[in-house]
Amino acid sequence: MISITAKKPEKFRSDLLVYCAVRRKDKMPICAESVRKVVKSLWKSGDFRAKSGETVLLYSDLLGHGHGTRPAAARILIVGLGEAKENVDEVREQLRLAGGTVAGSARKCKAAKVLVVLPQMKEILPQMKEILPQMQEINAADTAEAMSEGLVLGNYSFDRYKKEDKDRPEPVRKFYLTGSDSASSLRRGAKRGLVTAVAACRARDMANEPGNVWTPEKFARFGKELQRRYGIKCRVLEKPAMKKLGMGGILAVNQGSASPPKLVILEYISDKKNPTLMLVGKGLTFDSGGVSLKPAAGMEDMKYDMCGGAAVISAMQVVGEEQPANVNVIALIPATDNMSGGAAVKPGDIITHFGGKTSEIINTDAEGRLILADALAYGIKTYGPDAVVDLATLTGAVIIGLGHHKTGLLANNDSLAGRLLAAGESTGEPLWRLPLGPEYSKQIESKVADIKNTGGRPAGTITAAAYLQEFVGETPWAHCDIAGTAWGFTEKSYVPKGPSGIATRTLVTLIRNWKPLNKS
């Protein structure tokens, strides 16, 4: 889908040739010399200011190029990056947004083959540093990686269940990147961006599938496929094994369902001496709320309640492809749906989790923490990880607190929390840390059991995390509540309406940069 070419842009035959431009206040935008005259004319006329997402489409038949030579591309697109940024993470996001804009524009004009001329940092950086003296440099590989992510993520579509329509814009078949930097650097960066973006798109696919298609069994099949392709060990715990192990949380949520639950476990072991990172993703393939039934309006979106599991298992696809040498990665996806059949768990029931802790069920719609609790307790006891990260569309309360713009982060370890915050900034998937403490744990104390599964409306996101904290002991742990960002995420050129694939790229970045954790 993405290749590097050393061919001169004006001689490369494509449907669309793309250049980028950086906005400058009251001055002509910074751009490649090849389009400088055109950009200057557009700027003088007030038709182009290089604002983020701003584009100008030109037809090669109507203009010359260089010394009067018409470019081989059918069209030329000039896309604005916005004003120069000092921070590398912000520059990466500018490039991703530009990539998403390019993909969208290419689809509109039905371009199948697109060449993107990467911003020539060696050429334009001196001019940008005149504006921002403290600006951090971004290298060629990072430039190619960020642009590739934006192109692939922005090219995404899900129309598997639509009739064929010749008028519907098709995704771009092939993107090419070119630049003055070494081809090996560009190739390395483009590959990293492609692998990560494809994984995020896979997570989107899983979430877009209806609940009658993407079932717990599909999670298990995908895990087995990763085993076949990459050698990652996949185990699937079935219902009888869960009963034997005493996984009362997963079993309780599954009681009203016609489909059995699965606990999908993936094991990537690079070296037994390496630190082990454990990932846990909520795989609730449809959430009716159970006996505590959700309102009918919008319930169709509850097929997205497995986005945490989708992110985790898709990140493991990247682990399989890249085979990191410095870390072991374990992934657990507890998968079931939450239905209100005749045997469904009821408010007031008491269940026993793996490990023996009892829980009073106050609300059957607070089910995600029940299945995660068993997976966390089992995974920590079985694998003794150095750190644990769980992802879940867990609470509506996080949307009230943070909207659809940031993922809620709660952790018992500052170092782990800091790494996740940094990974989120790097990938354009920001998180916001919320507190934990005994005052919140007190809200989930039960008069008839060890704990209860809700602490009421106040601090709902925090008390849900406090529930999970009961099952991690002293292990460094972080919980990411993606209920507000898994779908309906901040509008961006590379994020479609519906599932965003959130946290897949954050997890990949976390794994790629993993080092032994400070236990504080």
- Is-contact 431 425, C-beta < 8 A? no
Residues 211 and 134 in one domain: no
Residues 159 and 223 in one domain: no
| pLDDT given for residue 66 in this prediction | 46
Under the banding of pLDDT at 50, 70 and 90, the label for residue 212 is very high
Backbone dihedral angles phi then psi of residue 199, each to the nearest 5 degrees: -65, -45
Residues 149 and 211 in one domain: no
Q: What is the CATH number of the domain that holds 349?
A: 3.40.630.10
Residues 406 and 354 in one domain: yes
Q: What is the CATH number of the domain that holds 102?
A: 3.40.220.10
Task: Please state whether the predicted TM-score (pTM) of the whole model is above 0.75.
Answer: yes
| pLDDT given for residue 479 in this prediction | 98
CA–CA separation, 15 and 497 (whole Å): 27
Residues 220 and 168 in one domain: no
Residue 115 within a domain: yes
Residues 449 and 346 in one domain: yes
- Is-contact 18 102, C-beta < 8 A? yes
Question: What's the chain's length in residues?
Answer: 520
Residue 189 within a domain: no
pLDDT tens column, 42-85:
999 999 999 999 999 999 877 654 444 678 999 999 999 999 88
Residue 196 within a domain: no
Residues 167 and 237 in one domain: no
Residue by residue, DSSP assigns 304-315 as: GGGHHHHHHHHH
Average pLDDT (235-249) is 98
Residues 178 and 214 in one domain: no
CA–CA separation, 251 and 390 (whole Å): 20
Number of domains in the chain: 2
**pLDDT > 70 in the chain, percent:** 95
Q: Which residues of 174-185 are buried (b: 16+ CB within 10 A; e: fewer)?
A: ebbbbbebeeeb
Residue range(s) defining the domain that contains residue 279: 205-512
Q: How far is CA 24 from CA 39, 55, 89, 401, in A?
A: 13, 16, 20, 36
DSSP state of 385: -
| pLDDT given for residue 132 in this prediction | 61
Residue 485 within a domain: yes
- Could you say which of 182, 213, 229 is where a domain stops? 182
Under the banding of pLDDT at 50, 70 and 90, the label for residue 519 is low
Residue type, 493: S
| pLDDT given for residue 129 in this prediction | 60
Residues 228 and 149 in one domain: no
- Greatest Cα pair distance, the chain, in angstroms, is 84
Average pLDDT (368-383) is 98
- Could you say which of 182, 214, 238 is where a domain stops? 182
pLDDT tens column, 133-174:
666 678 899 999 999 999 999 999 999 999 988 788 899 999
**Does residue 417 surpass a pLDDT of 80?**
yes
Residue 299 within a domain: yes
**Does residue 125 surpass a pLDDT of 70?**
no
Higher pLDDT, 517 or 217: 217
CA–CA separation, 340 and 285 (whole Å): 14
**Does residue 380 surpass a pLDDT of 90?**
yes
- Is-contact 420 413, C-beta < 8 A? no
Residues 6 or more apart in contact with residue 209 via CB below 8 angstroms: 218, 303
pLDDT tens column, 401-415:
999 999 999 999 999
Mean pLDDT value across the chain: 94
354 in helix, strand or coil? coil
Residues 162 and 236 in one domain: no
Q: How far is CA 399 from CA 182, 350, 488, 510, in A?
A: 44, 29, 10, 24
Q: Which residues are catalytic?
A: 294, 369
Under the banding of pLDDT at 50, 70 and 90, the label for residue 126 is low
Residue 187 within a domain: no
Residue by residue, DSSP assigns 501-512 as: -TTHHHHHHHHH
Q: How far is CA 292 from CA 210, 288, 289, 348, in A?
A: 22, 8, 5, 12
CA–CA separation, 242 and 236 (whole Å): 10
Residues 286 and 346 in one domain: yes
Helices assigned H by DSSP within 45-86: none
Residues 394 and 263 in one domain: yes
| pLDDT given for residue 31 in this prediction | 92
Backbone dihedral angles phi then psi of residue 268, each to the nearest 5 degrees: -110, 115
Residues 6 or more apart in contact with residue 252 via CB below 8 angstroms: 345, 349, 351, 361, 370
Residue type, 75: R
| pLDDT given for residue 241 in this prediction | 98
CA–CA separation, 333 and 491 (whole Å): 28
| pLDDT given for residue 67 in this prediction | 40
Residue 199 within a domain: no
List strand residue ranges (DSSP E) for 156-240, in order: 174-178, 233-237
CA–CA separation, 1 and 19 (whole Å): 19
Residue type, 40: K
- Could you say which of 148, 182, 216 is where a domain stops? 182
Among 381, 423, 56, 429, smallest CA distance to 245 is for 381
Query: Per the structure block, which two tokens stand in for 139?
Result: 């290298």
Residue 375 within a domain: yes
